[in-house]
Structure formats: structure tokens, C-alpha cells
Structure 1
Amino acid sequence: MNKTFRILKKVILSTLSILLLLSVTGYVYLYILPKGPEVKKTNTVKIGIDSIVIYAYKDSKRKSIKVWTYKPINWKDKDKIVFVMHGGGRNADDYLNAWIDLADKNNLFIVAPEFENKFSKYTTNDYQEGNLFTFFGTKNPKSEWAYTVVENIFDHIKSVNSITNEQYDIFGHSAGGQFVHRMVMLMPESRIGTAIAANSGFYTLPNKKLEFPYGTQNIEINLQKSYNNRLIILLGELDNDPSLGTFRTTDLAMEQGANRLERGTTFFNANKELKNKNNWTFNWEIDTIKNVGHDYKKMSEKAIKWIKTNPNIATIND
């Protein structure tokens, strides 16, 4: 009996030691060692397709990020800048390509950050959940939030290109839609003119009884300020097939709806109910696009009308 106990004790201790070693190794790899492509001297953004690499955080060189851009030949200072946030595939270049014709037609400067992560199939906290928390559940400083990175990119592009724009618009599809609606909720001070969250997989509900990312229990948030900003929940009428893309099926996610279309409606209605209860200003809208499913190209095309009607930045030419 004692021998069996000693063997069992050794097995347990060995297992715990291995798990501890893996955890420490994983933490060091993910959060201590430098990450990202090599940063080179950044010149002004070129006309047409271009890319730059900058440090993601203003006070640290621990992480760099590649940023794809497209600038039409006729674009000039004060014309519109649109950030395009990729989906879970982290394929920023594909999303940039989907916006080239739209950019040419409407004279838009497109900025598509690439939140590269080799483990993106297994972790989403660093991108669509804003990097508020590490994979291990500890809080990150606001200076390392993914939303802050977008603001840093905006500052950088302005500084190296002598741009004086005070705002930018932002569009995100699928995982990018998750990113956008959470950015509006959690960083209402950001310089977004119009935010468009398209076909998100699931949402952060205004529910203090649910932990983030399903609710707001364990985060600081001021929804009254968030509602002052312009957010469009863009849904595809045919985005009712959960087998497309990566679709979260946890119990809390399924309570939001059986598909993305239902979940978007649930999210919008929950926030509208809260604003009605408090009689707050509410600049959020919902728009369901007919005959479109989980298609980032078609949803991008339908987003243009909302960017065109942004009252805070110069009008786009038809």
C-alpha cells in the first residue's frame, strides 16, 4: 500500500512539475520574448499597395506588427482613412485586397493591421477579445490592449505622412467584428468616426453578471460614453449557418443565439434595452443585408453606405 502511494505521489508531482514548466515556458514565449516581424526604417506610405512594420506598443519594443495599406492616387490629407480588421484567419492582405476597388471608387486610405499569431486556432484573447487578458487570465495594461495598437498605428501613419485627420472609420468582419464592437464598448475615447461590426461570431453583452468576453463583470466599462459613438451592427440575412468559419458553441455563446444573425440581434436589443432604461443617447444602429451570408467581400461592399454617411468626416464622392 505504501509503495503504491509513493508511486502515485511521484506521478502526481512529476505531472505538476511538467505542467508548471509548460506554463512558465509558454508565458515566457508569449509575453516575454520579442514577437513579430523585423522593424525597418519607415518611410511615407506609398501610393497603391504597401506595408510597414512598426512597434505595436509606444513604450516597448517587445512586439511588432505588420500593417498593410492601400492609398489611391488621388487621396490627400483630410480624405477618409478606414481601418479594416481581418477575421480569425488573420489574413489582413486578403481583406486589404477586398477593399482596393472600394478604395479607388470612394477615395479611401485603407489600413489593415495583421495581428499574426501562430496559435490563433487555440487562443483568441490577443485579438478579437482585445488582449485585455493574457492566455493565463492575468490582466494586461491598457497600453498593450489590441485596441490601443490601432490608435498607435493611426498616430504613426499620421506622423510619417504629415496627415492631420482627427478620426478614422473602422470595419471588421467575423473575428474582426468582435474586435470592433468591443473596441467601441471598452475604448469610447478612441478616435473612431464610424465603427462597423459585421457578422461577429459572438458578443460581449451589457451584463455585469457574466464575465468578459461574454459580459462586463470583470472589466471597467462606461456604456453611456460608448453609446455616444457611432456603431453599426451589420448582419447578413443568410449568415445563419454555424458550420461556416469558426463558430463558438459554449453554453454562454449559444445563449446569445443559434447562429451569427440571431446573436447580432440579441446583442443590439440588449444594448437598446439598457439605453431605454437609463434614457441615454444611443448612436448605434443595426442593418441586416439581404441575400448575403458569412462573406467578408460582400459585407465590405455593403459597409460603404455607412462610411459615406459619416457626419464627422468629409463626404466621399459617389
Structure 2
Amino acid sequence: MSTLIKALAALTAGALTAYLLPKHKKGKEKKRLPVGESFRFLAEQTGTCRDPIPVYYYRPATWTEDQPVFISFPDVTRRAEKFERHMESLAVKYNMLIACPEFSTKKYPGARWYQEGNVQDKEGEEGTIQPRNHWSFDAVNHIVAAVRARTHAKGKVIIFGHSAGGQFMHRYSLLDGRADVDAIVCANAGWFTMPDDTTCYPYGTKGLGLSDAGLASAFALPVIMLMGSEDVSREQPFRATPEADAQGKNRMERCLHYFDACQKKAEELGVPFNWKKGVVEGAAHEGGKMAEGAMKLFCEEPLDETVGM
């Protein structure tokens, strides 16, 4: 009888070991992204509903965890999967892993929820400022953390937004930039929230409770304002309101106006200003060319100099 008990005990111990160890290994393997295209859902509480955010990935065959990760936030079309595929050749060329989160129009409808970050309960100047826990910007922090965990990234992490995504990125960096990243690239944004507490949101910061310390934190971030040299058209979609035109007659003028106003504000406060500005020569309002221009900064150009200026 004792022999039988010992045999059963041995089998039980062996089964337990076999159950625990392979399961741990499989779990670890599942977290690693495969080479090529892949797709993951991310649970996200911001937005109008609790639908998860789809994140589309592309991992070049030569990419390792020490290489850069490029997280691209969508333009006004919100077509993250299409843009990820458009950037696959760039991912291979610059050996960067691409992650494109999708901000659907169902979960983040209109400019209020995406470009303007749901800071107000209505789009435009007629809205009422909402509590910070209603803002959409927390999604950026969650996405960056999830991508880092999924990719095991040890190298540089860049977040990039073009057009509507550039608007979202610039307001995120000014009002709530807390993600652990090496650069926040705002490309070809159409118009801006100025660091002006006498002008109502979304054109200014009046009523937001943005303190001098908050501005100092924003100006200390690794922000890059990127412009296309040919992005001077006023064709739709382009905001031509008097308030937006006061910032400049095209996207490049507005970006320079915003950068200069922020730099001047930092000087007034006597705080460091770590932002940079750059021009992608030959690029109009083109997400692919702007993304490549941003990638080059981390592969070919020094980051301690203004690019193309």
C-alpha cells in the first residue's frame, strides 16, 4: 500500500511540475509579437463606450528589443490598420517596430473626443470644461504602457501623430503628457491650443487650471513639432475660423506660431524649454512622408539640432 501511495505522490508531483512550467513558458511566448503583421485588443475605459482599442503591429524580421518602437496615432480618417500597412516598408528600412492604435469614430466620435481630447462636454468654445478623468488623453498612457509590455521594448519609444493625430498629440503634450517615451512628435497639426489663459479652450487654456508648474512640466517634455515644407494648402479638411487664422494662414505658419508662443512662455516662466521643431522637405499633408521624417530623426539626424530649419 505504501508503494502505491509513493507512486501516486510521485505522479502528482510530476504532473504539477509539468503543468506549471510549460504554462509559464507558453504565457511568456504569447506576450512576444511575431514577425510581420499582428493585432491585439487593448481594454480601454476612455471614450463613449467600453469597446477595446485595436492595436495593429508590424515587426520587421531584423528588429530586436533594443531597436526603436514607433507608435503612430491616426489622422482624421482613423484608419489605423491601413496606415500600419502603409508604413511597413518604412519599418523595414529603419528597423523599427510599428504600433498603430485605432481611435474609432464610435468610441471617440468627432473632434471633441479625439483632436480636442474630450476636455469639454461639447465641441468648440461653447463647451464646459470636464473633470480630468473624463479626458481622452489617458488612452495615450495606457497604449504606451501596453505596447512596452507587449514588445519588451528596451530601446527608444516614439509616439507620433499626423494631422488630427498631431492635434491630439500636441494637446496631450501640453495638458497631460505623462507617458514614458523618448519623443512626442506632433506632425502637420491644423491648429493649436495656445498657452494663453485669457482665451477659452480649445484655442487657449482658460478654465483648464493649467498652472505655471504644469506648463513647466509640458515644456520639459521631449516634444518635436514637425512640419511638411509643402503643407501650405487651405483645402479641406482645414479649419479657417478667425481664431485659427489668427495663428497663421496655413499649417506651417500655425505650427511656427505655436512653437514660438510656447518658447516665449517658457522664457517668461524662467523654465527649460526642451522642444524642437523641424521641417520634412518635399512633404505636403502626407502622413507617410511625415512618419519617415520622424523616423529619420532617430536613425540619421542628431536630436540636439533643429532639423531642416
* TM tier, smaller: 0.7 to 0.9
Q: What is the CA distance between 1:197 and its match in structure 2?
A: 0.8
Q: Answer yes or no: is 1:237 the counterpart of 2:229.
A: yes
Equivalent residue of 1:233, what SS? Answer: strand
Q: Report the alpha carbon displacement of residue 158 of structure 1 after superposing the two structures with TM.
A: 3.6
Normalised by the length of structure 2, the TM-score is 0.77
TM normalised by structure 1 equals 0.75
Q: Which of structures 1 and 2 has the bigger CA Rg?
A: 2
Q: What secondary structure is seen at the aligned counterpart in 2 of 1:234?
A: strand
Name the SS for the 1:269 alignment partner.
Answer: helix
**Contact kept in structure 2, 1:46 and 1:71, CA below 8 Å:** yes
Q: Distance in 2 between matches of 1:77 and 1:143?
A: 33
Amino acid at match of 2:60: P
Q: Distance in 1 between matches of 2:31 and 2:175?
A: 32
Post-superposition offset of 1:46: 2.6
Offset at residue 134 of structure 1 (A): 3.4
Q: CA RMSD in A?
A: 2.7
Residues 66-111 of structure 1, C-alpha deviation per residue, up to 9 Å, x if partnerless? 1111111232224221110111111112221232122112221111
Aligned length: 267
Give, in whole Å, the separation in 2 of the partners of 1:116 and 1:92: 9
Secondary structure class of the residue paired with 1:53: strand
Q: CA deviation at 1:138?
A: 5.2
2:288 equivalent to 1:288: no
The residue number in structure 1 matching 2:262 is 271
Within-5 A mapping of 1:39-118:
44-57=32-45, 62-118=50-106
Asked if 2 retains the 8 angstrom alpha-carbon contact of 1:224 and 1:280, the reply is: yes
CA distance in 1 between counterparts of 2:150 and 2:227 reads: 36
How far apart are residue 173 of structure 1 and its match? 0.7
The aligned amino acid for 1:192 is V
| Partner Cα separation in structure 2 for residue 113 and residue 172 of structure 1 | 11
Q: Structure 1, unaligned stretches of length 5 or more?
A: 1-41, 313-318
Give the aligned residue type for 1:231.
V
Deviation at 1:143, TM superposition (A): 4.6
Q: 1:258 aligns with which of 249, 259, 262?
A: 249
SS of the equivalent of 1:66 reads strand
CA contact (8 A) 1:126 1:134 kept: no
| 8 A contact 2:129–2:208 mirrored in 1 | no
Change (3 A) 1:53 1:194: same
2:220 paired with 1:228: yes
Distance 1:61-1:46 versus aligned 2 partners, 3 A rule: farther
Relative to structure 1, the CA distance from residue 247 to residue 61 in structure 2 (aligned partners, 3 Å threshold; closer, same or farther) is closer
Give ranges in structure 2 of 5+ residues lacking alignment.
1-29, 305-309
Task: Say if 1:272 and 1:160 are closer, same or farther in 2 by CA, change over 3 A.
Answer: closer
* 2:239 pairs with one of 248, 251, 254: 248
Q: Is the 8 A contact 2:193 2:204 kept in 1?
A: yes
Give 3-state SS (helix, strand or coil) of 1:257's partner.
coil
- Alpha-carbon shift at residue 281 of structure 1 (Å): 0.7
Q: In the alignment, which residue of structure 2 is the partner of 1:25?
A: none
Of 142, 147, 169, the match for 1:152: 142
Q: How does 1:148-187 map to 2 (within 5 A)?
A: 148-160=138-150, 163=152, 165=154, 168-187=157-176
Q: Work out whether 1:214 is the aligned partner of 2:203.
A: yes
1:16 — aligned with what?
none
Which one-letter code corresponds to 2:115 in the other structure? Q
Percent same amino acid at aligned positions?
29
